[in-house]
Structure 1
């Protein structure tokens, strides 16, 4: 059955959707597969309505509590916006809904707690709403099966990183600079592992929004205008998360403005100094993680929104001067839509009945088929 579906799937298209920790937009990727490898056909980033984005961030940072009615409304509103992203992608690409086998929707993470007696991870964006409004089958809730199997449910990108960016006989790191930073280590011996290193853009974006009214620090100019506060940096780096061994994952529910506020000194001269310190926190924690867990890596390939922050990229290059640090674009892989491409791949894996996780990355008991299928209405319905 799987082989027949794979054959039927040869010319099919898939769509991957994700809004990351920073909630800076919904990345949508139209993908086809050649010899089982994903090939990006078209991609875009669909903007959130500003009021909805701000609510998502407040909820994710535990600044706003939701009762069940408010949760239901938010879940539906997010699903409707994801559906709008699909329509925009189809309109731009010229593809028809009928040519798409499935949409893989990561959703919007509002809580990630893959530990304790009752571990869970929660992504919203009602998949039934997406299926109903697009006429395309939707696969969603990709992380829960891995968490149920004792895993972190994250990161899920390393399998795709390995397919697209592995260099035989050479250890390479793929660094995703989203709201949270995560690394995939593609070892020279073929083994793959990875984990979340800590904050990337999330804290910087939140601080910039609070003090500049801007969603992100364009070109790193705010950080570049300040100076690193060494005492504050040491306090931030002392957080226990950085010393935890992998597998591990984290999110905005841990590294948020409340976390930062609790660690700020009572007298702080400059908000720009805090931004500079947050950038240094990102760069230092990443560099240390790579030094500890992938010291033989010859190069570090960057993807995610942080690729467009030249101040952060230069700082990473300086801290890892012995390694070649550059964008995945240098290897023909779009750095902005690699995550969305991965969720198109995960949707296809679900339809094929194949695993989507890597237990060596997440810590799950074994390989699991990820995601739940939400069929679109058929013509006869």
Structure 2
């Protein structure tokens, strides 16, 4: 039996809203039938970015931004259905991650905005959202959640695979035959690089790592950044803009003055690559193949850095496994909506640190 779900993911890169139409066949296979990305308007992106740190009138700003996010997401869902010739009643549900604006697992909460009730109203499709809070209630980090989908979709019966999603932040999933999957956030992905590129070359990201490739890694700066205690911690662990932000970088730059902007970008790219490589060696040195998804898979300079640091592993895009790296996370939230409807667990305790498996999500009827 084929079931159609829509997954929506808007990550910490704050570049756009990814929407994927996925088909699940008898609970054994998932296919992405179509997908699109709606860029965030500059004003909304700034609102969401501002909400990631303390400011005035935050509750009002969160309400306004959440509604704007839902309207944009609904527009994307309706576009996707129109070009596929589908009606809302043909879709089982929407799985919406929403936009994370605060992530504080040490305090037992993680806040995603995105007005799921409004999204249901505007699309005529029931929405399943709020995926993190049940895991947090069970003592987990609430993230990362996508490794559970990796395990379901891409485990091999014969060899160890490691997948890395490089969005604003990077997370690893280790898949060993016959074992429970494990994983954690390794640290920054694209977030610090994107912020630096916007500030210094006026683009929202360093396309293909071309700017970074023109610089030289400043070893002193890199060593200072890698000395941060987060990198020495073992999983389960998760992170976000609350920890790795512009002020974090500025504090390190104060200790190594005079580094050129392009060399900072080269060093930030190496920070992402080195922290992923170190995490892989710590958690899954037996990995033969490393598969990358998320925006980082499109950064050929970063991919080359990873391959240089990991000569014993083949570094590939998840496209090699038949999954477009751009849509992996959106597909995962379609899958989490399907899991919710089947009343099946959506978390992996080895990854999040929760006391056990839990059904994730909350229902907003159409």
TM-score for the superposition, normalised by structure 2: 0.97
Aligned ranges for residues 5-24 of structure 1 at < 5 Å? 10-24=1-15
Distance 1:290 1:120 in 2: 28
Secondary structure in structure 1 of the residue aligned to 2:172? strand
**Paired residue for 1:225, among 199, 214, 221?**
214
Distance 1:72 1:92 in 2: 31
Distance 1:315 1:190 in 2: 30
1:120-170: per-residue Cα shift (whole Å, max 9, x none)? Answer: 000010001100100000000000100010001111111211222212131
Distance 1:177 1:65, change over 3 A: farther
**Paired residue for 2:237, among 240, 245, 248?**
248
Contact 2:145 2:346 in 1 (8 A): yes
- Which range is displaced more, 67-76 or 310-319? 67-76
Secondary structure in structure 1 of the residue aligned to 2:345? coil
Secondary structure in structure 1 of the residue aligned to 2:121? helix
Distance 2:58 2:82 in 1: 36
Distance 1:283 1:33 in 2: 34
- Per the alignment, residue 38 of structure 1 pairs with 30
Distance 2:124 2:50 in 1: 31
Once the 2 structures are TM-superposed, how far is the Cα of residue 195 of structure 1 from its aligned partner? 0.4
Secondary structure in structure 2 of the residue aligned to 1:43? strand
Distance 1:247 1:269 in 2: 34
**Paired residue for 1:338, among 314, 317, 328?**
328
- Does structure 1 residue 135 correspond to structure 2 residue 127? no
Distance 1:41 1:30 in 2: 6
- Per the alignment, residue 91 of structure 2 pairs with 100
Distance 1:319 1:35 in 2: 40
Q: CA RMSD in A?
A: 1.3
- Does structure 1 residue 84 correspond to structure 2 residue 75? yes
Distance 1:141 1:58 in 2: 21
Distance 1:65 1:272, change over 3 A: farther
Contact 1:59 1:65 in 2 (8 A): no
Task: List runs of 5+ in structure 1 lacking aligned partners.
Answer: 1-9, 377-381
Distance 2:252 2:38 in 1: 34
Secondary structure in structure 2 of the residue aligned to 1:263? helix
Distance 1:198 1:370 in 2: 24
Secondary structure in structure 1 of the residue aligned to 2:34? strand
Secondary structure in structure 1 of the residue aligned to 2:36? strand
- Per the alignment, residue 375 of structure 1 pairs with 365
**Paired residue for 2:102, among 95, 107, 111?**
111
Secondary structure in structure 1 of the residue aligned to 2:67? helix
Contact 1:21 1:179 in 2 (8 A): yes
Aligned ranges for residues 132-211 of structure 1 at < 5 Å? 132-211=121-200
Q: Would you say how many aligned residue pairs link Structure 1 and Structure 2?
A: 364
Once the 2 structures are TM-superposed, how far is the Cα of residue 190 of structure 1 from its aligned partner? 2.8
1:216-243: per-residue Cα shift (whole Å, max 9, x none)? Answer: 0001011112111111111111111111
1:157-203: per-residue Cα shift (whole Å, max 9, x none)? Answer: 11211222212131110011111000000013332110000001111
Secondary structure in structure 2 of the residue aligned to 1:28? strand
- Per the alignment, residue 58 of structure 1 pairs with 50
